[in-house]
Amino acid sequence: MNEEKDFLGKEPVGRLLLKLALPTVAAQIINMLYNIVDRIYIGHIPKTGALALTGVGVCMPLIMIVTAFAAFAGYGGAPRASIFMGKGDHKAAEKTLGNCFTAQILISIFLTAVLLIWNRDLLLAFGASENTIEYGVAYMNIYAIGTIFVQVTLGMNAFITAQGFAKTGMLSVLIGAVANIILDPIFIFAFQMGVQGAALATIISQALSCIWVLSFLFGKKTHLKIRTENLFLKKHIILPSLALGLSTFIMQASESIISICFNSSLLRYGGDVAVGAMTILTSVMQFAMLPLQGLGQGAQPIISYNYGAHNATRVKAAFRLLLKASMCYATVLWLLVLIFPQGFAAMFTADAELLAFTKTALRIYMACLLLFGIQLACQMTFTSLGNAKASILVAVMRKFILLIPLIYILPRIMTSNQTMAVYMAEPIADFLAVSFTAVLFTFQFKKALKQINKAE
């Protein structure tokens, strides 16, 4: 089994990244289809489509919190498991998997209770209006029941990818996405369930993915197996995993807080049309971000394993390749958004007013997308190296220190068009955050390489 696992330390880095990144990028794109396909179908419901789309869009902060908690344990524990595998400590890697699985179950129970009891209050706080609140509540009442499937699928799938089984990880997501695409029109239109049908299709699809993930991690093909003796939480195992996952948690969960800030400001300055446009902008941004995260997840097992094995040359080569690939993708998508903004917006709505408004907002909101390849490559490498402090710092810097204050400051400065001033907060924060991250990474990466050399 050691020879099987050591391909992460011996196979050429370029070929290895291609082998691991293609399935993880595909998995992220497929995973994105869960919510985007819902929105595409919902946006085209006769007569009520525009309001229903806005109502479900306001649910996104809550859905982001659910997925962020999956990342909290899974995306923190998986890199640590890879590092332990690189060190040859198989027992510690399996303990990490078992502890994170238990944490995932406990978190799911807590989140389900919160979403069922307080979803209406939370949706109103997140920017729902009298016109859209009922659509949001109808969606979340059903979605909340499937929280455990989302948690286990996303969190535990990270451990499949971390072992180098990228294709299996992709299939975990593909199974659910295909089911969702098939079930959505059946429940929404054929059974005339509207937004409730979209939510039901999503949780059934996630349940199918969950069954696939668990059958693999309890099966014979996996290197790391979920074992009963490793399910009992141990501080020295779970706390470092949660600390490392905290940066990804902050990065994803803070999207809900930012959605509150954006939606409340946009509702004040631009009304339901501006909030509806934000739903489309968020969807397009997901289209940009998730493949970048997929590239990072493909590189993670390579960087983590070789960091644990004290191979500085391979760590450096993997990061450089990740950076180049991320920058190329971000630049191409940035150009497409600037040239064809209406094409992206038309995927989600046929409403003429919303379409015209979104076309302008999209170009402003994503003006600095081409720089985001640098941000994601550096941030994912921090996590892969087990550098929890730096990873948390860059996540907090972009969202809390820069973006949130700018959402409220810019409309007071740019009084001629306060609605577009709110959207302008995103590219300004992105530019400043990327500059900060690049400088911090330069120093921290050199430090990590020196530590590897000393260990050698």
Find the domain containing 327 and state its range. 14-455
What's the pLDDT band for 46 if we cut at 50, 70, 90?
confident
Range among 207-221, 266-280, 332-346 with highest mean pLDDT value: 207-221
Q: Report if residue 1 sits inside a domain.
A: no
Contacts of 413 (CB under 8 A, 6+ apart): 421
Q: What is the mean pLDDT of residues 33-50?
A: 76
Q: Report if residue 4 sits inside a domain.
A: no
Q: What is the mean pLDDT of residues 157-173?
A: 90
User: What is the Cα–Cα distance from 440 to 423, expressed in whole angstroms?
Assistant: 27
Q: Report if residue 194 sits inside a domain.
A: yes
- Share the mean pLDDT of the chain: 88
Q: What is the mean pLDDT of residues 67-71?
A: 85
Q: Report if residue 234 sits inside a domain.
A: yes
In one-letter notation, the amino acid at residue 415 is T
Q: Report if residue 6 sits inside a domain.
A: no
**Hey, what are 155's tokens?**
């969190």
Give per-residue pLDDT as tens, 248-291.
888 777 777 787 788 888 888 888 888 888 878 887 887 778 78
User: What is the Cα–Cα distance from 358 to 245, expressed in whole angstroms?
Assistant: 34
Residue with tokens 């050691």: 2
The reported pLDDT for the residue numbered 1 is 44
Q: What is the mean pLDDT of residues 161-182?
A: 89
> How many independent structural domains does the chain possess?
1
Nearest to 27 by CA among 148, 147, 153, 145: 153
Q: Report if residue 8 sits inside a domain.
A: no
Q: What is the mean pLDDT of residues 399-411?
A: 92
Lowest mean pLDDT among 24-28, 68-72, 143-147, 406-410: 24-28
DSSP assignment string, 81-142: HHHHHHHT-HHHHHHHHHHHHHHHHHHHHHHHHHHHHHHHHHHHHTT--TTTHHHHHHHHHH
pTM of the predicted model as reported, rounded to 2 decimal places: 0.79
The reported pLDDT for the residue numbered 274 is 85
Give per-residue pLDDT as tens, 92-124.
999 999 999 999 999 999 999 999 999 899 888
User: What is the Cα–Cα distance from 108 to 144, expressed in whole angstroms?
Assistant: 10
Q: Report if residue 9 sits inside a domain.
A: no
Lowest mean pLDDT among 11-20, 48-57, 138-147, 304-313: 48-57
Residue with tokens 């046929």: 350
- The answer to whether 188 and 198 are in contact (CB under 8 A) is yes
User: What is the Cα–Cα distance from 436 to 390, expressed in whole angstroms?
Assistant: 11
Q: Report if residue 7 sits inside a domain.
A: no
Q: What is the mean pLDDT of residues 130-156?
A: 90
Give per-residue pLDDT as tens, 351-391.
778 888 888 889 999 999 889 899 989 989 999 998 988 98
